[in-house]
Structure 1
Amino acid sequence: MTDLERLAAIVDDAALNANAIPQFSEHSPLSVADGYAVQALSMQRRYARGDRRVGIKMGFTSRAKQVQMGLDDLIWGHLTETMRMQEGGSISMAHYVHPRVEPEIAYLIKHELAGNISPLEAINGVAGIACAMEVIDSRYANFKFDAGDVVADNTSAAGFVIGDWHPPDTDVTNLGIVLNINGRPKQIGSSASILGNPSRALVAAIRLAAENGEPLQPGDIVLAGSATAAVELSVGDHVEAQFETLGSVCFSVRE
């Protein structure tokens, strides 16, 4: 077993069993490239258990966050079938280390997309747009990590829920968004917080997935990145994200 395979086994076990682990870079810096190699190896372990890829998610869609983490590009991770949550359903806190929730814009891919393309070309390859929420759950103790760590941990991807699909030409450039916990607003933001326009995150998703030999396929879902700061989840929470034009999406948290 190589060092990268060992790290993949550690992070995969942490996600599978909801165990907190030490930050890898505390002992030895992990480059972003090595982080992606670890991510790929950990995903192979998930697929061997019968899980399957259903799309990808984007991270660090704020330029300020990229600078903070010492990066000049977005990061991305895999979405799998077992991460999908039922809209209006519930999730168990026992499956997570320290989960947080973010409101996002979701795209449904119509046909294979790859390479460097324009936002208009990207939207022409989309079958639908929906409101969504992502549950992120860094498996590192105290939610502390650097860029290589978070990439290795599949960019903290842990769950996602999607609302009703709308036509692909729906304007989502600057939609007002309210993230409510137990009926009270916790975050208020706009889809414009996602790179100024969520379609730019879609363009980046198409480019990055293709560069890594995984071009987007029909039926794939792309989460464009968070429109607000993430909110910590607790047992008993009822979570709802309300979006202008797109409606709302919700779930609850049980023990």
Structure 2
Amino acid sequence: MNSIHNFASLLDQAASHATEVAQFDPKGELSLEEAYEIQMTSIAHRLGRGEQRVGVKMGFTSRAKMQQMGLSDVIWGRLTDAMQIEEGTSISFKNYVHPRCEPELAFILKKPLIGNVTAAQALASVEAIAPALEIIDSRYENFKFSLPEVIADNASSSGFVIGPWASAKTDFSNLGLTLNIDGHVKHVGSTAALLGHPLRSLVAAARLAAAAGEPLQAGWIVMAGGATAAEWIYPNQYVSVEMQQLGSAGFYVTE
């Protein structure tokens, strides 16, 4: 049990101070349950400092990535209010260790969504959808880590930017999108990359969050997962997503 708290404190400090830490489970010997316990404990430190839970992020929402990692399920992390970056504003590169960015679809819920739900029930809980960006950051030295270490490190989630909210009645099953750096397209993708339909990601979020005793609440944001490969980001860049029908969102990177 002490190791859980020690690893959680280590990762909390690494995220808070943007410092690298050595791997503590390089062979992936920790169970996924232990990894999530470290994540939960690490985020509890943030909540103890006054941050508020605002939702969850989903990871490995591509079937190919799941198979590559030897997983039968997606992974997830916790979002707090301190992680949200206002659209069009700046982040400081020095606040991150190995920052990358990926384009996503975001949901905001109008009512709780708990446990094993259908896609129709998931959709009925959605207030609105938006184009979004997630900043992911691994705190491990030399960008080397095992699967349990990724999960323990809040599934690499470090920040998120939400674009304009739109009606959930929009057909978002297969919206084309681009991830852009300084207006130049780096990756092209579709919301269909998210488990074949983004609603499947929301269904998984409801199941996993409830199983952890933290069911999805009204007003929470669910980041549905990366729709393209992640792109490294650097100072003096403008990073943006452009999504069919839904518009764009972006942020600047300063030194």
| TM-score for the superposition, normalised by structure 1 | 0.98
Paired residues of 1:106 and 1:129 also in contact (CA < 8 A): yes
Query: Are residue 178 (structure 1) and residue 212 (structure 2) matched?
Result: no
Query: Are residue 120 (structure 1) and residue 120 (structure 2) matched?
Result: yes
**Quick one: which amino acid aligns to residue 38 of structure 1?**
I
Query: Are residue 9 (structure 1) and residue 9 (structure 2) matched?
Result: yes
- Higher mean alpha-carbon deviation, 63-72 vs 45-54, is at 63-72
Q: Which residue of 2 aligns with 1:39?
A: 39
Q: Which residue of 1 aligns with 2:158?
A: 158
Paired residues of 2:28 and 2:147 also in contact (CA < 8 A): no
Q: Which residue of 2 aligns with 1:241?
A: 241
- Give the drift of 1:147: 1.5
Total equivalences in the alignment: 255
For residues 183-229 of structure 1, the C-alpha deviation after alignment (integer angstroms, 9 at most, x for no partner) is 11100111111111101000000110011101111100000000000
For residues 108-136 of structure 1, the C-alpha deviation after alignment (integer angstroms, 9 at most, x for no partner) is 01111101111111010110111100000
Alignment of 1:1-255 (within 5 A): 2-26=2-26, 29-255=29-255
**Quick one: which amino acid aligns to residue 89 of structure 1?**
T
Unaligned runs of 5+ in 1: none
- Give the drift of 1:27: 6.7
Quote the sequence identity (%): 51
- Give the drift of 1:143: 2.3
Q: Distance in 2 between matches of 1:143 and 1:58?
A: 20
Q: Distance in 1 between matches of 2:90 and 2:22?
A: 29
- Higher mean alpha-carbon deviation, 16-25 vs 205-214, is at 16-25
Paired residues of 1:69 and 1:146 also in contact (CA < 8 A): no
Q: CA 1:116–1:27 in 2, change beyond 3 Å: closer, same or farther?
A: closer
Q: Distance in 2 between matches of 1:187 and 1:106?
A: 18
Cα RMSD of the aligned pairs, angstroms, is 1.1
**Quick one: which amino acid aligns to residue 134 of structure 1?**
E
Q: CA 1:27–1:6 in 2, change beyond 3 Å: closer, same or farther?
A: farther
- Give the drift of 1:98: 1.0
- Higher mean alpha-carbon deviation, 195-204 vs 134-143, is at 134-143
**Quick one: which amino acid aligns to residue 205 of structure 1?**
A
- Give the drift of 1:26: 2.2
Paired residues of 1:24 and 1:30 also in contact (CA < 8 A): no
**Quick one: which amino acid aligns to residue 241 of structure 1?**
V
Paired residues of 2:26 and 2:146 also in contact (CA < 8 A): no
Q: Distance in 2 between matches of 1:132 and 1:216?
A: 19
Q: CA 1:170–1:231 in 2, change beyond 3 Å: closer, same or farther?
A: same
